[in-house]
A and B are shown apart, each in its own frame.
Chain A
Amino acid sequence: MTAADVRLPQGPPTTPTEPVRRRGPSPMRRRENAAAYILITPFVVVFALFIVVPLVYSGYLSLFRDQLVGGTTFVALDNYTRALTDSSFLTGVGRMAIFLLIQVPIMLGLALVFALLLDSGVLYLQRFVRLGIFIPYAVPSVIAALMWGYLYGPDFGPAAQIAKNLHISAPPFLSQNWMLGSIMNIVSWEFIGYNMIILYAALRSIPSELFDAAAVDGAGRVRTAWSIKIPAIRPAIILTAIFSVIGSFQLFNEPNLLRTIAPNVIGIDYTPNMYAYNLAFINRDSNYAAAIAFILGVVIMVVSYSVQLSTQRKERAAR
C-alpha cells in the first residue's frame, strides 16, 4: 500500500544452483543441528533447573494456603484475588511506578549524555572519566547503600555537618517525603555508568561513513548526535530501558538496607519485592508471597513489552 511496503525485502533469494529440497535436511545440515543442540544443552539444563523449575514450583505453591494451624489447603486463585485488593502490594507497585517514571528517564538521559560526550572525543582524560563513571557499578549495592546511609545521616553525615556549620538545617534525606528521592539518587549513581557503557559500546559500532556523510551535509556535532547517533543506537537504548524497568520493579537491596537506619520510614511493604520477602519470612506465608511474586512478574512483563512495543511503533512510524 505504502512506499515502505514496496521497499520491504522480498525474502531469501532462491539460488538456481541449489535444487529445492523436500525430504528433510542434508547430512551436513543434520550434523550442524546436532552440534548446535549439544552446545546449547548446558544452557538449557541450567535454565530449566534454576528458572523453569522454580517458576513452576512457585506457581504451584501460589495455589495453596498453608496455615499455621489447619495445614495446607488448595485455594485455586484465592491468593491472586487477595493480592489484587491488598493495599500493601498495590501501594508498593504504585511507588515503583513513580520510581520508574522519574528515575529511569533521568538515569538513562545522563547515561546517554555521558556516552555521547565520551564518543565525541571532546573530553580530556577520557579513559579516566569513563572509569570514574563506571566505578559505582562495581561497588556492591550493599556497600553502596551503607555508604549512602552514612552520607545521608542526619547527625554526623557530611551534609548534616556542613549544614550545621552554616547554621541551616540539613535536608532530611531519610524522611518520609525525601526517601524515595534519596533511593533514586543511589540507584542512579550505581547504574549510570553501567548503562553508559552499553550505549557507548553501541556508539562505537556505528559505521564512520555515516559521520562522513553527515559532515559533508554540514551537520555539526549536536546535529550528528541527534540525527545519526541516537537513532542508530536505538536498540541499545531500548535494551537499557527494559533492564531498568525490570530493575525498578525488583528494587530490594537499597531500601532494605536503608531500613536499618530509617526503620519507620521504610516499611516491610515499601517495594513489592520487600513485601514478598517479608511475607515469606516474617508472616510465614510463602504461598501468598509466591502469588505476589507471580503478579509482579506479570506486571514487569507487561510494562517491558509495552516499552518495546511503543518504541517499535515509533520506529515504524519513523520509517
Chain B
Amino acid sequence: MSRTKITWRRQAMGLTAGMAVAALALTACSGGGSGDKATGPAAAISQADIDKAMTTPTKLTFWTWVPDIENEVKLFEAAYPAITVDVVNVGQGADHYKKMRSALQAGKGAPDVAQIEFQHVQSFALGDNLLDLTPYIPASTSADYVPWVWKQVLSTDGSKIWSIPQDSGPMGGLYRDDILKAHNIAVPTTWDEFATAAKTLHAADPNVYLTNMPGNDMGQFTAMLWQAGARPFGWDGDKQVTINVTSPEATKVAQYWQDLIQAGDVSVDPDFTDTWYQGLANGKYAGWAPTAAWAPVFLQGTAANTSGLWRAANIPQWDASGSPVSANWGGSSDAVMKSTQNPIAAAQLALWINHDPASTLMLANTQFLFPTTNATLTSKEFSDLAPEFYGGQKVNQVFADISKTVPEDFSWLPFMDYAYSAGQESVGKAIADKGDIVGALKAWQDALTTYAKQQGFTVK
C-alpha cells in the first residue's frame, strides 16, 4: 500500500519537476526525509511498540506559542531520555496557523506536534492533516479529562481523537470590588442585573464602564452565543455544514449588547490593545465580563497596580431560575500531524505534556493555563491558591466550579479562520460603530453561507 503510494509519488514528481523547481526556489524548506508516512493503523499500538519507539533515539519538532513550555518538555525528556524535542514558536494564533498550513500544503517542514486551539481542530481535520490518536493512547484517557473539553478534540462523529486538550477557558466575570462598592452595586448574577448595573455605574461616573465590549473578538462573541443556547455552527465531517448565526438565541445576545452599546453604558474599545490595557489598569473598566478562566492571571500582569481590588464571579445568567450555564472562550490542544515520521513518540509527547500530573500542574500554576484534566482541576495545589491580587479569593476554585456548567454540545465550522474574520467585518464592525448588531448577524450569515458554497459545502 505504502509502496505503491511512493511509486506514484515519484512519477508525479517526475511529471511536475518544473513546478517542483519553482516551489523549491520559493520556499526555503527545512530538511525532512521521504520515508514511509504514518498511515494510522486501526488496531491499538502495543505497549511493546511504544516502549521500543520511546527508547529509540528520536527527534521531534513541536510548534507552540505557550511561553516557557520548554520546562514541561524537559520533564518529558527526563522521562524519555532517547527523545529530543525541538520546541519552536512560529508565532501566535493566526501567524502560527498560516505557517502550519503553508508547511502542510508544501508537504515538507511541518512539525510532528503542534498546538491547535479548539475552534480550529476541525479545519485541520478537514485537510486530513491530523493523526487519529485513538490507537496511540490508552482507551481510559478520555475519562481523565473534563467531559466538555474532551468533546472539543474529537471528530464530529466522536470516533476519532484529533488532539489532547491543553487548556480551557470556562467563562466567568472579573469585577473591581472597590468601584462596585463605592457605588453600592452588587455583583450582577443575571444579564438583566448586569444591564441595570452598567447603567447605574455609568450614570454615577461617566468615565467608568462596567465592562468593555470589543468589536474585534469573535471568540468572545461566539462564546456568548454558546452560553445563550445558540448552536450557530456544525459540520457533519463531510460536505455538509450548519450555519445559523441568526437564531433567536443569537439575536437575543446581539440585541442585548446593541441596547447597552447604543445607550453608551459599555465601551467598545478593541481588546488586547494598548488602549484596552490602560483601561483595565486605570479603572475605566470596572469589570471584565464575560471573560474566561485564563483571564485572572493575565490581568495580574496587565493591571498590576490594581492588586487586591479585583474579584471573580460567575458569568451572569439569562435564566435566573435554572441551573447556571456558562460557555468556553479560548483553550487549545496539542495535535500530531499525519505527516510525522514518528507517530508513536509524537503522540506520547502530546499526551504526556497534557496528562502527566507534574506537567499539567506546572502548566496550570506557572504558565497559568486553565487545566483540562480532572485531577489537576481538583488538586489542592491548584484550587487552594488564594492570590493577593483577588484579595485572597480562591479564584481557581471559582472557575473550576464554572467549568462544570459548560454545555458539551457546541461544535465548530471547519473554517473558523474565515468565520471569525467575516464576523469581525460584520458583527464586530457594528459593535465598534455602535450600529445595528442584530442586522449584522444577517450579514455574517450571508457571508458564511456564500463562502461555504464557494468552498464546495452544502449548507443546512
Please list the residues of chain A having a beta carbon within 8 angstroms of any beta carbon in chain B.
49-50, 53-54, 56-57, 67-70, 150, 153-156, 176, 260-265, 267-268, 278, 281-285
Query: Which residues of B437-460 are within 8 A (CB) of A?
Result: 451, 454-457
Query: Which residues of B1-56 are within 8 A (CB) of A?
Result: 19, 21-22, 25-26
How far, in whole Å, are A155 and B284 apart by their CA atoms in the complex?
Answer: 11
Contacts of B429 in A (CB 8 A): 264, 267
Closest B residue to A263 using CB positions: B216
Select A261's contact among B273, B417, B454, beta carbons within 8 Å: B273
Between A50, A53, A68, A261, the greatest number of chain B beta carbons within 10 A of the residue's beta carbon is seen for: A68
Contacts of A263 in B (CB 8 A): 215-216, 270, 424, 428, 432
Counting CB contacts under 8 A, is B362 at the interface? Answer: no
Closest A residue to B97 using CB positions: A281
Q: How far apart are A91's CB and chain B's nearest CB, in angstroms?
A: 12
Are B421 and A67 neighbours in the complex by a CB distance under 8 Å? no
Interface of B is mostly: helix
Contacts A49-B25, A264-B429 given; does A68 touch B215 at CB 8 Å: no
Contacts of A176 in B (CB 8 A): 433
Are B26 and A54 neighbours in the complex by a CB distance under 8 Å? yes
How far, in whole Å, are A33 and B273 apart by their CA atoms in the complex?
Answer: 60
Counting CB contacts under 8 A, is B275 at the interface? Answer: yes
Counting CB contacts under 8 A, is B98 at the interface? Answer: yes
Q: How far apart are B170's CB and chain A's nearest CB, in angstroms?
A: 26
Counting CB contacts under 8 A, is B65 at the interface? Answer: no
Are A268 and B25 neighbours in the complex by a CB distance under 8 Å? no
Closest A residue to B458 using CB positions: A69
Contacts A50-B25, A264-B431, A284-B418 given; does A69 touch B19 at CB 8 Å: no
Are B22 and A70 neighbours in the complex by a CB distance under 8 Å? no
Q: How far apart are B204's CB and chain A's nearest CB, in angstroms?
A: 21
A-B contact list, 18 entries, CB within 8 Å = A53-B21, A53-B26, A54-B26, A68-B126, A69-B126, A69-B456, A70-B455, A155-B275, A155-B278, A261-B275, A262-B270, A263-B216, A264-B428, A264-B429, A278-B421, A283-B418, A283-B451, A284-B101
Q: How far apart are B222's CB and chain A's nearest CB, in angstroms?
A: 16
Contacts of A49 in B (CB 8 A): 25
Counting CB contacts under 8 A, is B157 at the interface? Answer: no
Additional pairs, 19, CB under 8 Å, beyond known A69-B456, A260-B273, A284-B417: A50-B25, A53-B25, A56-B22, A67-B456, A70-B456, A176-B433, A261-B270, A261-B274, A261-B275, A263-B428, A264-B216, A264-B428, A264-B432, A268-B421, A282-B94, A283-B421, A283-B451, A284-B415, A284-B418
Counting CB contacts under 8 A, is B239 at the interface? Answer: yes
How far, in whole Å, are A278 and B21 apart by their CA atoms in the complex?
Answer: 26
Are B275 and A153 neighbours in the complex by a CB distance under 8 Å? yes
Query: Which residues of B411-440 are within 8 A (CB) of A?
Result: 414-415, 417-418, 421, 424-425, 428-429, 431-433
Contacts A261-B275, A264-B215 given; does A54 touch B101 at CB 8 Å: no
Contacts of A154 in B (CB 8 A): 275
How far, in whole Å, are A67 and B415 apart by their CA atoms in the complex?
Answer: 12
How far, in whole Å, are A54 and B457 apart by their CA atoms in the complex?
Answer: 31
Q: How far apart are A71's CB and chain B's nearest CB, in angstroms?
A: 8
Q: How far apart are A52's CB and chain B's nearest CB, in angstroms?
A: 10
Contacts of B418 in A (CB 8 A): 282-284
Select A69's contact among B270, B425, B455, beta carbons within 8 Å: B455
Q: Mark contacts of B233-246 with chain A using CB atoms, 8 A cut-off: 1 yes-contact digit, 0 otherwise.
A: 00000110000000
Closest B residue to A267 using CB positions: B425
Tally of B interface residues using CB under 8 Å:
37
Interface of A is mostly: loop
Closest A residue to B126 using CB positions: A68
Are B424 and A264 neighbours in the complex by a CB distance under 8 Å? yes
Are A68 and B455 neighbours in the complex by a CB distance under 8 Å? yes
Contacts A67-B454, A284-B417 given; does A268 touch B425 at CB 8 Å: yes
How far, in whole Å, are A53 and B25 apart by their CA atoms in the complex?
Answer: 9
Closest A residue to B451 using CB positions: A283
Q: How far apart are B434's CB and chain A's nearest CB, in angstroms?
A: 11
Closest B residue to A52 using CB positions: B22
Q: How far apart are B91's CB and chain A's nearest CB, in angstroms?
A: 12
Q: How far apart are B427's CB and chain A's nearest CB, in angstroms?
A: 10
Contacts of B415 in A (CB 8 A): 68, 284
How far, in whole Å, are A311 and B188 apart by their CA atoms in the complex?
Answer: 69
Closest A residue to B270 using CB positions: A263
How far, in whole Å, are A117 and B20 apart by their CA atoms in the complex?
Answer: 54
Q: How far apart are A232's CB and chain B's nearest CB, in angstroms?
A: 43
Q: Mark contacts of B172-215 with chain A using CB atoms, 8 A cut-off: 1 yes-contact digit, 0 otherwise.
A: 00000000000000000000000000000000000000000001
How far, in whole Å, are A70 and B458 apart by their CA atoms in the complex?
Answer: 11
Contacts of B26 in A (CB 8 A): 53-54, 57
How far, in whole Å, are A272 and B216 apart by their CA atoms in the complex?
Answer: 21
Q: How far apart are B28's CB and chain A's nearest CB, in angstroms?
A: 12
Are A53 and B22 neighbours in the complex by a CB distance under 8 Å? yes
Are B432 and A69 neighbours in the complex by a CB distance under 8 Å? no
Closest B residue to A280 using CB positions: B98
Are B19 and A57 neighbours in the complex by a CB distance under 8 Å? yes
Contacts of B216 in A (CB 8 A): 263-264
Contacts of A67 in B (CB 8 A): 454-456
Q: How far apart are B192's CB and chain A's nearest CB, in angstroms?
A: 28
Contacts of B454 in A (CB 8 A): 67, 285
Contacts of B456 in A (CB 8 A): 67-70
How far, in whole Å, are A54 and B23 apart by their CA atoms in the complex?
Answer: 9
Q: How far apart are B336's CB and chain A's nearest CB, in angstroms?
A: 22
Q: How far apart are B285's CB and chain A's nearest CB, in angstroms?
A: 12
Closest B residue to A264 using CB positions: B432
Are A69 and B239 neighbours in the complex by a CB distance under 8 Å? yes
Are A153 and B274 neighbours in the complex by a CB distance under 8 Å? yes
Contacts of A70 in B (CB 8 A): 455-456
Contacts of A153 in B (CB 8 A): 274-275
Are A57 and B22 neighbours in the complex by a CB distance under 8 Å? yes
How far, in whole Å, are A263 and B21 apart by their CA atoms in the complex?
Answer: 39
Closest A residue to B99 using CB positions: A281
Contacts of A54 in B (CB 8 A): 22, 26
How far, in whole Å, are A264 and B421 apart by their CA atoms in the complex?
Answer: 11
Closest B residue to A50 using CB positions: B25
Contacts of A56 in B (CB 8 A): 22
How far, in whole Å, are A265 and B270 apart by their CA atoms in the complex?
Answer: 11
Contacts of A260 in B (CB 8 A): 273
Closest A residue to B23 using CB positions: A57
Contacts of B273 in A (CB 8 A): 260-261
